[in-house]
């Protein structure tokens, strides 16, 4: 297996991540067009701005960032990078200790909304190759004001995505998410959870099909949740509370997030990696 040059399986994964990005961007721009909230309706609907970047050690990606009247800041980024891990980092990556060359591709999405009533969300799926090859990823919902119907709808769609993979997949991956998306120094979860998985490496076709289904599930359910709340009026007090709760997201992503650590350790574009951070945040 070649880890620097792209083979047929890597090409399929990369192409999928890119096509999913394009469909998500189109769905989010349609939401911007349909917003009728009087607080923001006079503003122009947002559009994604795409910026390509190159990684000096090999590969690169495209940042797709939109600032609009529904989405205060949303990034849907795809990167495909290759090269050689630094020795200390290679020791932490499966299959890289003996041979530090790698190839990695993935999609990363983080949405921060204007309205405190529309929940922020995260979705990431990826395919990584060293001497091993695996898929990982997940999705979680991070409401400012948790809504039981949103939570139930989000989890039900992810559970349906897991159903075809393994009978216990949802239970395992939900538990993993509950443990992963937890802020130890705060003693609280980042949001209302979702699923998280990693190191799926037994069967490329099966694992790739599941990863695609996770992307499809997110594209199906999250726009529904956004549309359900996007025209609700909010108050200044609700906005202030939103900025405080965003601080939890910042703390998690800078201190604990695997994707942030991987991207920075492999020489990725800091602007693309840190697109997950909200444009405004407050610590009282």
Domain range spanning residue 165? 8-276
pTM: 0.95
284 occurs within a structural domain: no
For 64-88, what is the HEC assignment?
A: EEECCCCEEEEEEEEEEEEEECCHH
- Mean pLDDT value across the chain: 95
Domain count, the chain: 1
Asked whether the predicted pLDDT for residue 256 surpasses 90, the reply is yes
CB 249 within 8 A of CB 257: no
Catalytic, 229? Answer: no
281 occurs within a structural domain: no
User: Which of 122, 127, 155, 229 does the annotation list as catalytic?
Assistant: 122
CB 136 within 8 A of CB 126: yes
3 occurs within a structural domain: no
283 occurs within a structural domain: no
CATH code assigned at 173: 3.40.1500.10
Burial 105-138 (b: 16+ CB within 10 A, else e): bbbbbbbbbbbbbbbbbbbbbbbbbbeebbbbbb
282 occurs within a structural domain: no
The region of weakest confidence among 44-48, 56-60, 146-150, 188-192 is 56-60
Q: Using one digit for the tens of pLDDT, what is the confidence trace for 199-222?
A: 999 999 999 999 999 999 999 999
217 occurs within a structural domain: yes
Phi, psi of 28 (to 5 degrees): -70, -35
Asked whether the predicted pLDDT for residue 142 surpasses 90, the reply is yes
98 occurs within a structural domain: yes
206 occurs within a structural domain: yes
């Amino acid at each position: 297996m070649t880890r620097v040059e792209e083979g047929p399986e890597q090409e399929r994964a990369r192409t999928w991540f890119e096509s999913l990005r394009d469909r998500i961007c189109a769905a989010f721009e349609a939401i911007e067009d349909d917003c009728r909230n009087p607080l923001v309706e006079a503003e122009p609907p947002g559009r994604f701005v795409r910026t390509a970047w190159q990684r000096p050690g090999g590969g690169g990606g495209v940042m797709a960032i939109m600032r609009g009247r529904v989405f205060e800041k949303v990034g849907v980024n795809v990167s495909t990078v290759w090269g050689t891990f630094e020795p200390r980092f290679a020791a932490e990556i499966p299959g890289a200790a003996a041979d530090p060359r790698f190839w990695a591709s993935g999609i990363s999405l983080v949405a921060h909304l204007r309205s405190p009533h529309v929940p922020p969300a995260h979705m990431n799926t990826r395919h990584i190759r060293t001497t091993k090859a695996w898929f990982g990823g997940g999705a979680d919902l991070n409401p400012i004001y948790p809504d039981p119907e949103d939570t139930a709808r989000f989890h039900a769609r992810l559970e349906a995505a897991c159903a075809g993979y393994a009978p216990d997949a949802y239970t395992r991956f939900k538990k993993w998410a509950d443990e992963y998306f937890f802020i130890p120094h705060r003693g609280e979860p980042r949001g209302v959870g979702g699923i998280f998985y990693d190191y799926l490496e037994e069967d490329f076709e099966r694992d790739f099909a599941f990863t695609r289904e996770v992307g499809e599930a997110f594209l199906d359910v999250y726009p529904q949740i956004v549309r359900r709340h996007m025209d609700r009026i909010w108050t200044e007090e609700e906005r202030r509370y939103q900025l405080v709760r965003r601080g939890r997201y910042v703390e998690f992503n800078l201190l604990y997030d695997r994707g942030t650590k991987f991207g920075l350790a492999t020489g990725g574009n800091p602007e693309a990696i840190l697109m997950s951070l909200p444009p405004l945040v407050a610590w009282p």
